[in-house]
Amino acid sequence: MGIVSLIAAFQLNASDARAASSQDWPPFVLVTGLLLIGLMADEDRLFAWAGHQLGRISSNGFVLFLGAAAIIVSVTALLNLDTSVAFLTPVLIYTARSRGGGEAPLLYGCLLLSNAGSLFLPGSNLTNLIVFGTSPVRGAVFLSDMWAPALAAALVTAIVVAMMSRRELKVVVRADEQSVRPIIGVGLVVVIVATVLMLSLRSPAPWVAGVGVAATVNRLVVRKTRIDSIVEVLGAPILVGLFGVAVIFGTIGRTWSGPSVLLSHLGTWPTGALAALGSVLFNNLPVASLVAARPPLHPFALLVGLNLGPNLFVTGSLAWLLWLRTARKAGASPSIGIASRYGAFVVPASMAAALAVLKLKGLH
């Protein structure tokens, strides 16, 4: 599918396809590097340690959920939402089961909060990099603009999920008697290095990917990781497929002025709503490439819709597919219907909060 889409894009307009490819490849390279870095951190038991520490200090389901929400948002912000759902989902499922509580709040919360927490840094979501692809900004600058809307979206999402899951969260959880010792080594180092790179550089993708590849090659040489683990984590066919679709949408956005003309007539709130709807219909990555082929009038509002809208349905983002695959592998039975029911309440509330804060900050 990806290769066919790329061929179709170059057949449609070669110069526009090259421009679209140039805008779209950095996000996909970055997420590849971050997934590899996440694998290193997972193999060093950093995520498992965080889950066990959370279980030890949590006296009830609400405390457990709030602590999990903080971990999910932090990992999403620093290592991308795809890394968050790929590595935290099994940890949170285990944490919920071992404490005697229901797994649904943490299971569905991981997906919803990963999408909601992806507004903090450019690398937190591929859409952030695509929308600002023609005029990259340093991570620190992006954070100074978006931390308040991102925090509002994450807080509202956590509150809505907690309210909808209040019966399951009332349970008194058992203390965790086991201990997990993290390995303080390569995994932690590459997470710190990647964070610094994403905050300081305008175009961190090749550097972050280089760090991830170098750490992975080192692990392969000393036989501390396996090829099949790397292949499974990356999910190359899905990434290549989405890249190809994003390029053809970006090519269309350059050859056809319709999307940019439409957005130029919309205000902040309608822009966010349209982006959310487009994400559900076509996936947020291709839609981001389409609407950002020409500099959008309301880029921040666009990101709110592209990042939060996917919580409505499985078609919205790559994170959904990774979450479903990982949750099933961990022995859970994730329901698209239940997740969408959560999303139907979460999305309007979180988008309203984020867009309202954008307005208060004078951003659009």
Q: Which domain holds residue 120?
A: 30-235+314-361
Please give the radius of gyration of the chain, using alpha carbons only, rounded to the nearest integer: 20
Answer whether residue 270 is part of any domain: no
Percent of the chain with pLDDT over 70: 96
Give the 3-state secondary structure of 4-37. HHHHHHHHHCHHHHHHHHHHHHHHHHHHHHHHHH
What whole-number distance in Å separates Cα of residue 38 and Cα of residue 216? 10
Answer whether residue 198 is part of any domain: yes
Q: What is the mean pLDDT of the chain?
A: 91
Answer whether residue 265 is part of any domain: no
What whole-number distance in Å separates Cα of residue 361 and Cα of residue 293? 26
Answer whether residue 242 is part of any domain: no
What whole-number distance in Å separates Cα of residue 331 and Cα of residue 42? 18
Query: How many structural domains does the chain have?
Result: 1
Tens-digit pLDDT profile for residues 214-266: 999 999 988 888 898 898 888 888 888 889 999 999 999 999 989 889 999 99
Tens-digit pLDDT profile for residues 19-41: 999 999 999 999 999 999 999 99
Residue 37 CA from chain centroid, whole number: 15
Answer whether residue 271 is part of any domain: no
Answer whether residue 52 is part of any domain: yes
Report the greatest alpha carbon distance in the chain: 62
Cα–Cα distances (Å) from 2 to 9, 191, 195, 230, 283, in that order, read 11, 30, 30, 20, 14
Percent of the chain with pLDDT over 90: 71
To 5 degrees, how large is the angle CA 226–CA 89–CA 133? 80
Answer whether residue 179 is part of any domain: yes
Answer whether residue 258 is part of any domain: no
